[in-house]
Amino acid sequence: KKRRKDPLAPKRPSNAFFIFSQQHRQQAREEKKEGNQSELTKFLGLQWKSMPSTEKKIYSELAIQDRQRYLDEMSQYQ
């Protein structure tokens, strides 16, 4: 059986790539103009892979902060 999700539960944390995608999606949409959502995600994935690790570290730190937020909210939720 599939569990039902509690609507009051905290939102799960995002990983570094998802944070990058959220911040760059609008810019990528303007650059790419045509195509659907999956092509846009592939384009963002190629940008992510070609980024140097020093720039990725910024998003990794944001992901760690989001994870900490989630853990704090979960401790209050339970």
The per-residue pLDDT of the chain, averaged, comes to 90
Task: Give yes or no for a contact between 61 and 13, defined as CB atoms under 8 angstroms apart.
Answer: no
pLDDT mean over 15-40: 87
Residue 60 to residue 56: CA distance in whole angstroms: 6
- Indicate the SS3 state at residue 41: helix
Residue 7 lies in a domain: no
Per the structure, the count of domains in the chain is: 1
Instruction: Say which residues have a Cβ less than 8 Å from residue 67's Cβ, sequence separation at least 6.
Output: 13
**62 assigned to some structural domain:** yes
CATH number at residue 25: 1.10.30
pLDDT beyond 80 at 34: no
pLDDT at 75 over 80: yes
pTM score above 0.85: no
The answer to the question of residue 6 being in a domain is no
The predicted-structure confidence for 7-22, as pLDDT tens digits, reads as follows: 888 999 999 999 999 9
Q: Please, which pLDDT band fits residue 1 given cuts at 50, 70 and 90?
A: confident
